[in-house]
Structure formats: structure tokens, C-alpha cells
Amino acid sequence: GGRAPGSADGARRAPRSADGARRAHWREEDGRTDGEMSRHVFLTGPPGIGKTTLIHKTIDVLKTSGIPVDGFYTEEVRKNGRRVGFDVVTVSGKRGTLSRISNDSGIPNSRRCEYRVGQYAVDLPSFERLVLPLLEKVNDREDMEKKVYVIDEIGKMELFSEPFIQSVHQILDGVGATILGTIPVSKGKPLRLVEEIRSRREVKIFNITKDNRNSIVQEIVTSVQDCRKLKGN
């Protein structure tokens, strides 16, 4: 689903050298298996382009293949045909409020809400209650199977949470899981974690467009499976 205006991050992508661009292309196309191989997969693209739809399709294929998947995605909430906010929904089906338009919110004191993106009041306690336990499980020693963790999305609303940022860093830096995530396109003020993800060499990024969104699922699935194989080394 498309996120509210203002949820997209900022800063133009850091310029890459021609050599860097060639190296990235070589790495992705030739399926290298050394330390340069991607360990995480992220989708990016403008609001409403279909990133979350692709996440759902990818989850379905991975689960059918017997790959364990956990994590969360965001979903539009509509009332009388009008978008009034977003919910966060876990892969296992639990749901909580992420944000609401102030006068529709049901979020206590939303008019004075400290966390806002445009017209939306962000319910940070609700988001953290649902999402943080999921992400903290990644580094649980008892959970040894290499899972795929869906993080849809890492945007302005979610980045109000400092513990969320720390958890994402831990998963990015660790070898216990592969992230299948989404990040907004560069627009407006930069979001530090988003720009960091964009520039990390072990992250493969798919730019979703109207032209490729209906044909790219298998490529995403293959990339996630390749990442996961690398984790088992």
C-alpha cells in the first residue's frame, strides 16, 4: 500500500564510481558466492507502486518452499473509502495500530502526539509492542534456523522508534537471518538508516516500477533464497 506523503526518505543516492557500479552489477548478475554476496534484500519505489503486494507474493512462495518467515508489513486502513491510517500486521496475523489521521485516531492525546508524519499521528507504543518482540527473537540462540524476516517498511513512522533502529542494525550486522524489507525512495530530508541500507554492499535492492512489478517476484524469491544459502555457511 502507498504510504502517506512525507514517509519517503531523503537525500540523493550517494554517487557511485563507474568501477563500483560495474562491481555491483557483476556481483548481482554472476551469482558470486564469496563474502561479497548479498545477505539481505530490499525493495524500494514510490508510494502505491506495489512493494507490499510483492512482499506478500514473495512470502507465499517462500512458505510454500518450506522456508520459515517472520516479521511484519504495513497495511492501509480505510473508512468510508478514505484512508485514515496504517496498521502493522505480523506475518503470523497479529495486528496493531501504526498511525491514524488525528481526528480518526483513537490514539490517546493524538492532537498533541509527539510522533507525527504529515496528518498522521503515530502510535509508537502499539508499534513497538507488536514488532520489537519479533525482531528480538532473531538473536535468540534457541532459534537456530535461518529465518527470513520481513520488515515492511523502514520509513519515517517506524524510525521514531530507537529500539527498532537498534534491532534492524543487529539483524543487518548478524548472520542469523535474512531481511526481506522495503525502504522509501529518496525524497526530502534524509533518513539515516535508510541511506545506510541503500549504501551497504551486502544489501541487494530492487527498484520496483510499473514496468517490472508484475514480473519480478521470482527474481526476488531467488535472491532471498541465495542470501539464505549464504547464511548457512
Q: Quick one: average pLDDT of 157-165?
A: 97
Domains, the chain, with CATH or none = 40-73+127-230 (3.40.50.300)
Supply the pLDDT for residue 32. Answer: 36
DSSP β-bridge partners for residue 2: none
- The model's pLDDT over 24-34, given as tens digits with 9 standing for 90+, comes to 333 333 333 34
The closest alpha carbon to 172, from 189, 191, 152, 149, belongs to: 149
In single-letter form, the type of residue at position 60 comes to D
- The model's pLDDT over 80-104, given as tens digits with 9 standing for 90+, comes to 999 999 999 999 999 999 999 976 5
CA distance 148 to 130: 18
Q: What is the pTM of this model?
A: 0.81
Distant-in-sequence contacts of 228-231, Cβ < 8 A, 24+ apart: 228/67, 228/146, 228/148, 228/178, 230/33, 230/37, 230/38, 230/39, 231/39, 231/146, 231/175, 231/176, 231/177, 231/178
The closest alpha carbon to 172, from 69, 51, 42, belongs to: 42
Residue 36 pLDDT level (bands cut at 50, 70, 90): low
- The model's pLDDT over 171-196, given as tens digits with 9 standing for 90+, comes to 999 888 999 999 999 888 889 999 99
How far, in whole angstroms, is CA 190 from its chain's centroid? 16
Q: Are 9 and 190 spatial neighbours (Cβ–Cβ below 8 Å)?
A: yes
